[in-house]
């Protein structure tokens, strides 16, 4: 069974840090583009960051640059999103996604670029 399971969400203070994890099962992440999206209440889901299946290309949203880092550990079949300098605007449900032999559009990623999705993990930043 193909599955992505996020963990690591929670409540964090303004300016704090948090690392989200996304464990894959039923398939190998190393042949997949990986990405993180987020969705705040009342807003559309938006891309956060992406790494292509080859690792040769990547993309980050403007709000993520310098604060968020996407990575993967193939030996653990897990992807990560390290977040720092968190702001209340970062409060959202965060979703991991993967696409076999996928890439990252240089103009930004969209939900339709990815076939596999996690169930989401909530991140709440308090002021």
Tens of each residue's pLDDT in the chain, 127 residues: 899 999 999 999 999 999 999 999 999 999 999 999 999 999 999 999 999 999 899 999 999 999 999 999 999 999 999 999 999 999 999 999 999 999 999 889 999 999 999 999 999 999 9
What is the pLDDT at residue 77?
Answer: 97
Which of left, alpha, beta for 107 (phi over 0: left; psi -120 to 50: alpha)?
A: alpha
Cα gap 47→57, rounded to integer Å:
15
Q: How far from chain centre, in Å, is Cα 117? A: 10
- Structure-token pair, residue 3: 């599955």
Cα gap 68→116, rounded to integer Å:
22
Q: 3-state DSSP: the chain helix, strand, coil percent, rounded to 5?
A: 10, 50, 40
């Amino acid at each position: 069974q193909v599955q992505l399971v996020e963990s690591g969400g929670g409540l964090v203070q303004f300016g704090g840090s948090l690392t989200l994890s996304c464990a894959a099962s039923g398939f190998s992440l190393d042949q997949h583009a990986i990405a993180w999206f987020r969705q705040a209440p009342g807003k559309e889901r938006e891309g956060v960051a992406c790494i292509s299946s080859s690792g040769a290309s990547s993309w980050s949203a403007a709000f993520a640059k310098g604060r968020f880092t996407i990575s993967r550990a193939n030996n653990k079949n897990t992807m990560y999103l390290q977040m720092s300098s968190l702001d209340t605007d970062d409060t959202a449900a965060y979703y991991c996604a993967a696409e076999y032999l996928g890439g990252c559009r240089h103009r930004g990623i969209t939900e339709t670029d990815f076939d596999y999705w996690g169930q989401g993990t909530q991140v709440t930043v308090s002021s």
